[in-house]
């Protein structure tokens, strides 16, 4: 009974298949603290699963986002990073020095509520990256 078993369970219940590839990638994401880029995930995953293709990593990460098990963040540069997080949050990055601050989602709750009211959309809690200049760099 490995540590990602509750997530694979969830996958199966949603009607998706649980493959070694998905298991390994989930495991990696669970043990990473913070974001990982697809190539970082690939490098780590290949250690446990030598035949793994980078393509599969890309597809799996995107798949996990679709199913809601992982979140994707697009950095200021548009580079991707993925993570699994129970506590939903966003980021504020300093454009000058790159310092990164975590913004808990509660701070956006009222915005989300008002957007949902005005647009009739049901918002998905996707990761948002705000950009700015930190106190020192201003």
Residues forming contacts to DNA in the complex (CB under 7 A) are 12, 16-22, 37-39, 49, 51-56, 58-60, 62-63, 77-80
Q: Which does 17 bind (CB under 5 to 8 A by kind): a copy of itself, DNA, none?
A: DNA
What is the 8-class DSSP label of residue 56? H
Site for a copy of itself in 36-75 (CB under 8 A): 72, 74
Residue 88 C-beta-side C-alpha neighbours within 13 Å: 14
Site for a copy of itself in 114-133 (CB under 8 A): 114-116, 118-124, 126, 128, 130-133
Alpha carbon distance 26, 32 (integer Å): 10
Choose among 67, 73, 68, 7: nearest CA to 36.
73
Closer residue to DNA (CB): 105 or 129: 129
Strands 80-83 and 89-94: unpaired
Output the six-digit token pair for 101.
């601050």
Nearest distance from residue 7's CB to DNA, in Å? 12
Phi, psi of 6 (to 5 degrees): -70, -30
Alpha carbon distance 103, 13 (integer Å): 31
Q: Which stretch binds a copy of itself (CB under 8 A): 4-12, 23-31, 34-42, 106-114?
A: 106-114
Write out the residues near a copy of itself by the rule CB under 8 A. Answer: 72, 74, 76, 78, 80, 92, 94-95, 101, 103, 107-108, 110-111, 114-116, 118-124, 126, 128, 130-135, 138
């Amino acid at each position: 009974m490995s540590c990602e078993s509750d997530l694979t369970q969830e996958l199966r219940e949603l009607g998706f298949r649980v493959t070694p590839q998905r298991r390994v990638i989930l495991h990696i994401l669970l043990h990473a603290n913070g974001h990982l880029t697809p190539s970082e995930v690939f490098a780590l995953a290949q250690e446990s699963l030598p035949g793994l293709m980078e393509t599969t990593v890309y597809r799996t990460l995107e798949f996990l986002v679709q199913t809601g098990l992982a979140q994707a963040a697009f950095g200021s540069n548009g580079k991707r990073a993925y993570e699994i997080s129970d506590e939903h949050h966003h980021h504020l990055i300093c454009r000058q020095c790159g310092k990164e601050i975590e913004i808990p989602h509660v701070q956006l709750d009222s915005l989300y509520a008002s957007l949902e009211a005005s647009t009739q959309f049901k918002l998905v809690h996707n990761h948002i990256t705000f950009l700015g200049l930190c106190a020192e760099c201003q």
